[in-house]
Structure 1
Amino acid sequence: MISVQNHLLQLSGNKWLWLFLMMLGLGACSPKVQPPAPSVKTATEEKPEVVKVQPKPVVVPPAKTSVVSLILPFALNNLSAGYTNEGLKQANLSVDFYQGFKMALDSLTAFGYNYELHVFDTQGQTSQSHALAYNSQIRVSDLIVGPVFPEDMKAFASVLKSARNPIISPLSPAAPSSIGNQNLITVTPPLQYHAIAAAKYATGKVKAKRIFILNSGFTADKEYIGYFKKAVDSLTKKTVQFTEVVVSKGDLSTIIPRLSPTTENVFVVSSTNQQFLMVTLQSLDDLSTKYPVTLFGHPNWEKVTFLKAELLQRLKTHITSSDRVNYKAASTVKFLRNYRKIYKIEPSEYAIKGFDEGMYFGKLLANSGTANIKPDLEKTDFTGIHSDFNFVGLAGAGWVNTYVDVLTYVNFELKKVE
């Protein structure tokens, strides 16, 4: 365990002294009252004794210290024996997230906030995650961040089900219902909220009346499609029709009679299988020469390299995303400069995520009247460098971030739709 305390920065004054000086200033600006004419003292009058009143010393209230426990898979037990490739990836992820998160807390101390940060190692083992849930120092923390992976979080959160301070799932998009903990805060929007965002755009902006769903036949496609259809039905009161087909070898001939030559034909493809996508999207590209086509793809398409931007732009492809960095933004440029200065390396996406989460939850902890930030979650949105936060409460499953952007291709680059 590593314990890091960021001490409160000493300021040139405090809010009580500032208030005192302000009151003096207000007194100096009050209306002048004409004093009465001075009386003439006689020789027998005694000079009144002047009593000096010593001002009371200004009492500085003790600084609030927020205690944060960070639980990550450093697997430091592998230092001597050596890491596997997967273990090394997890360790690098942990270091990057820690550095970004701590940098955020260090930044917040400039505003007079104070934090005590404790870091714990899950050793890359689910059993260790479960054991850490009994650690007394973790249990009394104002905020628990981690574990990172779904199985580790399930093991950890299963012990801490009674009402207590929040537990942050910092990176995993696992559905909160799969964890089943009332204290859980899921930062990365699960797949369900990507499907909802796509459904809102397809039925709202595109005004789809019929939606064609092209399936690969693999079970993995079904989860996204289920969420998408449910969202469309809810938004349109089941007025939008679906045509769902399993596509083999790119054959789209069965849907041609249903296509409109004048209005947008909206397609949804939820597969991430490379072979299926290469053949099917080429067939869809051929159709787009005769019929207007708008395509909605799986959010993971943003990260694959085998799909070409030229093809996706011709198909008017839309992809949802919950974490995209604008490297031209002033806040991003400042963060990159400071991170390089402190750590002498480029930040990874995990470092940027760690910074965003540290800034958001660090501010909530500092500004909350108590250690419990739960009442403030749904009232406090956040625009970060890597992610935006808009939390909603779920019965028995904590809170989940629902903020998802819809992106499309402009000049062969993904841009947020207007």
Structure 2
Amino acid sequence: MLKESTELSMILVQNRQQQLNGNKRLFAWALVLLLFLGACSPKTRVLKSPDHRGGNVGGTIPKEEKPEGVDKEKTVEDARRAEAARNSVALILPFQLDKISPRTLLKEDVNRSAIALDFYQGFQLGLDELAQEGRSFSLNVVDSRDSEVRNQYVAKSEEISNAALIVGPVFPKEITSFGTHLSNKNVLQVNPLAATRAREFNLPNLVSLTPSIDVHTKAMAERVARDYKTGDVVIIYNTSDNDGRQFLNGFLSELRKVNSSAQVRSVSSVPQLNEEISLTGTNLIVAGTTDRFQLRSFVSNLEAKSSQEYYVFRVYGHPLWERIDFSIYERFGDFRPIITAESHLKTWTREAKEFKENYYSLYGVSPSDHSYKGYDAARYFGNLLAKYGDNYPEHITKEKFEGLFSAYMFDYNESWGFVNKAVSFKSYQGSSFQLN
């Protein structure tokens, strides 16, 4: 393959022979960033399927003496280059290398670029694997610099004009700035990481990979409706914090769509909650708060009530509960807590272990969530491009995907494009939330 090993992978392979930590890791990552994108200019990679014949013949061969295989090789090479040109991907990420000085490399410089670097490395690895399977792509990497003005320029640039697929930018303001100035609205623009509601961008060619909070709300309402049995009561515990309001907004209407006969109570304080809990069935309590004080009051009350009377509680919570330490509560697990989650990562599977090993072997560091997301995006969209060419947008709503970290199941709206509806459920086991 031509240029399939980039400066990025070569540098990190060189350093993986010894464990990197502290200042060594900082220096290695900063050096990688500087050498990878140079002076913040776009960088193109051509990823082609391997030459199955292997090797090249040196020297000049007179025309009449050229073996027949040479012409065939040229034909195959031309076909691969043509395929790579058709499967052109523009990857727009906020490396922000314009803010880095080679003479004063600081930890914050590397941290600022970490999301972009991790996503890129995962994405590159995904395309590399597809190339090894016999497909060809060209990848054009552009530094968005986390700048709205810069993205206006990038959207109209030559590097973008020939792209069959655009992945990025990452941050919401960049996405809006780029999308509104993109001249070719027929090319899909993938929002790879932002969980912002797609309707807020209002870009018909946008593909939003990260499920927004309303997707989680709908999925949880369907789960509660499925768990509900006659005699149970659903209690919606409203709080004033922003996370709680967002998560519970629209929950009742979504629940009613699935089960219109469910008994539902809505409360906004612990005393009100205590008035509505039932001794005769299961209390399905839905709470969206992530406020530590509110959670302590809520969980401590449930522990106290369940120790006094034979109440049966089942708790449904916000996806951000995965980041909260509930081990301080002795009986939290008794409430069989359930949350929705973006991640589908099963670290114990062979595929996940192989990816982690390959990633570390190439880059000298373990993959982050952004690395997994980049890898899954490359595998899904690269495969669509290779299979369907310019018609790949017609198949996005038809082809579901179960990746290492992400799953994709898209709905389409004429105003705000493709929205991923795939979320998983995690239950509290031991001292953390785990995939069901």
Q: Shorter chain as normaliser: what TM range? A: 0.7 to 0.9
1:407 to 408, 413, 426: 426
Distance 1:265 1:218 in 2: 23
Specify the code of the residue in structure 2 equivalent to 1:400. V
Helix, strand or coil for the counterpart of 2:145? coil
Q: 1:213 — aligned with what? A: 236
Q: Is contact 1:390-1:403 (8 Å) kept?
A: yes
Q: Is contact 1:326-1:332 (8 Å) kept?
A: yes
Q: 2:177 — aligned with what? A: 155
Q: Is contact 2:210-2:420 (8 Å) kept?
A: yes
2:301 to 283, 304, 312: 283
The answer on 1:374 being equivalent to 2:393 is: yes
Q: Is contact 1:278-1:307 (8 Å) kept?
A: no
Helix, strand or coil for the counterpart of 1:158? helix
Q: 2:347 — aligned with what? A: 327
CA spacing shift, 1:311–1:168, aligned 2, 3 Å = farther
Distance 2:423 2:153 in 1: 34
Q: Is contact 1:161-1:181 (8 Å) kept?
A: no
CA spacing shift, 1:412–1:104, aligned 2, 3 Å = same
CA spacing shift, 1:242–1:102, aligned 2, 3 Å = same
Distance 1:305 1:349 in 2: 20
Distance 2:421 2:330 in 1: 30
Unaligned runs of 5+ in 2: 1-41, 55-67
RMSD: 2.4
The answer on 1:9 being equivalent to 2:30 is: no
Specify the code of the residue in structure 2 equivalent to 1:97. F
Identity %: 26
The answer on 1:263 being equivalent to 2:281 is: yes
Deviations 1:80-109 (A, max 9, x none): 186887764340111111011001101111
Deviations 1:240-287 (A, max 9, x none): 34322222xxxx333334322131101111111112112221112222
Distance 2:293 2:430 in 1: 26
Q: Is contact 1:288-1:315 (8 Å) kept?
A: no
Query: After the TM superposition, which residues 93-132 of structure 1 pair with which residues of structure 2 at under 5 Å, given as runs?
Result: 93-132=115-154
Distance 1:149 1:306 in 2: 31
1:303 to 323, 327, 343: 323
Distance 1:307 1:163 in 2: 49
Residue 327 of structure 1 and its aligned partner are, at CA, apart by: 1.1
Helix, strand or coil for the counterpart of 2:281? coil
Q: Is contact 2:123-2:374 (8 Å) kept?
A: yes
Q: Is contact 1:285-1:315 (8 Å) kept?
A: no
Residue 162 of structure 1 and its aligned partner are, at CA, apart by: 5.9
2:332 to 300, 312, 319: 312
Q: TM-score normalised to the size of structure 2? A: 0.79
Distance 1:74 1:324 in 2: 27
Q: 2:374 — aligned with what? A: 354
Helix, strand or coil for the counterpart of 1:244? strand
Residue 308 of structure 1 and its aligned partner are, at CA, apart by: 4.3
Q: Is contact 1:356-1:385 (8 Å) kept?
A: yes
Specify the code of the residue in structure 2 equivalent to 1:271. T
Residue 297 of structure 1 and its aligned partner are, at CA, apart by: 0.7
Distance 1:258 1:323 in 2: 34
How many residue pairs get aligned? The number is: 370
Residue 212 of structure 1 and its aligned partner are, at CA, apart by: 1.3
CA spacing shift, 1:302–1:84, aligned 2, 3 Å = farther
Distance 1:87 1:180 in 2: 33
Distance 1:352 1:282 in 2: 37
Distance 1:93 1:363 in 2: 24
Q: Which structure features the higher share of helix residues?
A: 2
Q: 2:28 — aligned with what? A: none
Deviations 1:92-142 (A, max 9, x none): 111111011001101111111111111111112222122211112213201
Q: Is contact 2:300-2:329 (8 Å) kept?
A: no
Query: After the TM superposition, which residues 15-94 of structure 1 pair with which residues of structure 2 at under 5 Å, given as runs?
Result: 60=76, 62-63=79-80, 64-65=83-84, 66-80=87-101, 88-94=110-116
Whichever of the two has the greater Rg, that structure is: 1
Distance 2:369 2:263 in 1: 39
Specify the code of the residue in structure 2 equivalent to 1:405. S
